Chains A and B, each alone.
Chain A
Amino acid sequence: MSWTTKPSATTKIARRAEPYCTAAMMSRWTSELLPRYATKHAALLPILHDLQHEYRHISYQAMIEVAAFLSIKPADVMDTVTFYEEFSTEPLGKCVIGICQSIACEVCGHKKLQDHVSARLGIKPHETTADGKFTLLALECLGSCDTAPVALFNETLHENLTIANIDALIDEAAKGGGGH
């Protein structure tokens, strides 16, 4: 659980001319999401998933736009964004590698995988490569303990990993510009 804070007094919020919440997104949210919930606030998680998926992060400007869309305070949006591990205020790499570090994966050899990926990419867990291609994450149990060790490459789970097959996955991701 992260406890992200920002120095509010000095932070300059980066702005860009075009909005993060596009007209197409907002019309989909209005027709599909809002009717599902008793409050507008409750549509926040699915909206944040859309933005994280689209932009690989949720910028301060995006938070302000979402707040306006849902008629809630930007602080409420930030509160939620910074609580959940899947939302990031900084851009993540094109390929996010999340290696499970929980108990079944640890006793089945996750450490050498993590060390290997870390050395190969030259980054520690929770860092992104300078070219923006890869982010390495150390995640807790991914619910696939019988096929430990496991890792998520973006949205795809890979099971029974060895150094050889995780290398192959990284090669493939590097070729395809990281996407999956």
Chain B
Amino acid sequence: MPVTEPILTKRIPTFPWGDPKNRKTISVDEYIATGGYQSLEKALSMTPAEVMAMVKDANLRGRGGAGFPCGLKWTFLPPPDGGRRYLCVNCDEAEPGTFKDRLLCDYDPHLILEGIAIACHACQLDTAYFFIRGEYHHQAKVVERAIQEAYAKGIFGKQGLLRGKSPFAVDCYLHRGAGAYICGEETGLLEAIEGRRGWPRLKPPFPAVKGLFGRPTIVNNVETLAAVCPIIEHGVAWWKSLGCESTVGGAPSYGPKLMGVSGHVTRPGVYEADLGITLRTLVETHCLGMRHGKRFKGAIAGGVSMGVLGADQYDCRMDFDIGRLGDVMGLGTACPTVFDEDTDMVAVARNIARFFKNESCGQCTPCREGSGWILKLITRIERGDATTKDLDLLLEIAGSMGLTPGTTICGLADGNNWAIRTLVNKYRSEFEARVKPYAVSMSGLQLAVARV
């Protein structure tokens, strides 16, 4: 069922329900006056296991990129042993094209904090770190103020959750990153909180078992945690009435989703839509169509890591089936960057290749070296200095790096792999037009024959 009223954007004016120019940061008093912290109150009237079961039944899938079922992840935690247990809130949001979590930080930070408190109750986690990327200076101030307000209202603090309504006490701290995309990867994020370089850790052990400071830890995206509040408030059946079922026998895509659209559209911005909406509807209805009436040429599916949707994929559905149906890695953050007919896709590939080369943390050879070679080859193609052989080499290098081929520690390399392969495959003629045919020189051939 389509989303007919704003849910995550209830207090954030957003088209078609409200005008973004009326947006302002919601203070704790306004938040409470408009029904805020009632989901927490309701959650505290249930046992942690009941809350966890609700989130699991709702099939809330992670909004940070991987789409992993949130409730299932929570069940991986070992039973409490009296030691510390952590929640790490992932607000690194450095995936190019993605700007949806910022909306919640800017205008409705208490929605995230309420989700944090509910998650801490459900999972019995006593300390939450709100990890926010360093470049979000303004957002860090807004969230810090909201955390202080929440302490003042007794949400967090020694007395126990919600003024001692539950004796279980939670502390919440802001922790700022310092400019490294890789710290969005969940174990890179743990290293960054521990004060070290953001080098992802080998898994297993998974964070739920051995995470921050070696203790059980849950890492969740900002939007995932915010979505927990309406699930508790309105119930599982309501949540499942939004979004769509899988058409390929996969897991369903329930609920609303924040979708940030950028690039060549008339009205870029963050929209709240139901999972399963087509890219065409999102662009034509929400974003008022392509800019200057140009034709749609393609779109990054949801952050550059996911790869590209081609000109013939405008009707593709934005849900968790997209990986299987759209020949991209997945839905990612559901934030498409749209390209019009005048876009040079080789330049797009070069831009993305540069991003991955800059952001590779350098631990794994295929990623560190591969990202450099991919950039070199695409730069050569863009300049017109490459041959068809370089194009093949490019695909070979890209296809060999990542968790899926099993050559790296983390998924950054898969992002590079998918972005480059889908761009070359879906716009092959554009790349071919830029390369010279590969010719073996006669003398070289004779030499080779002579050697045989």
Distance between Cα atoms of A141 and B359 in the complex (Å): 11
Binding site for B on A (CB under 8 A): 1, 3, 36-39, 41-46, 48-49, 76, 79-80, 83-87, 98, 101-104, 106-108, 139-148, 152, 155-157
State which of B102, B195, B339, B359 has its C-beta within 8 Å of the C-beta of A42. Answer: B195
A107 touches B362 (CB 8 A): no
Binding site for A on B (CB under 8 A): 84, 93-99, 101-102, 133-138, 171, 173, 175-182, 192-198, 212-213, 215, 260-264, 268-270, 300, 304, 335, 337, 339, 343, 347-348, 351-352, 354-355, 358-362
Closest to A140 in B: B355
A44-B195, A146-B270 known; A85+B176 contact, CB < 8 A: no
Closest to B95 in A: A141
A80-B196, A107-B264, A145-B97 known; A156+B137 contact, CB < 8 A: yes
A145 touches B195 (CB 8 A): no
**Chain B residues, CB < 8 A from A87:** 178
B181 touches A104 (CB 8 A): no
Q: How many A-B residue pairs have CB under 8 A?
A: 153
- Ordered by A's residue number, 23 sampled pairs between the chains whose C-beta atoms are within 8 Å are A1-B182, A1-B361, A3-B362, A39-B213, A43-B195, A45-B175, A45-B177, A45-B192, A45-B195, A48-B178, A79-B196, A83-B180, A84-B197, A86-B135, A103-B351, A106-B351, A108-B263, A139-B179, A140-B358, A145-B97, A146-B269, A146-B270, A148-B262
Main secondary structure on chain A at its contact with chain B? mixed
A106-B347, A141-B95 known; A46+B304 contact, CB < 8 A: no
State which of A46, A143, A155 has its C-beta within 8 Å of the C-beta of B98. Answer: A143
B355 touches A102 (CB 8 A): yes
Distance between Cα atoms of A139 and B359 in the complex (Å): 11
Closest to A148 in B: B262
A45 touches B262 (CB 8 A): no
A103 touches B134 (CB 8 A): no
Distance between Cα atoms of A152 and B176 in the complex (Å): 17
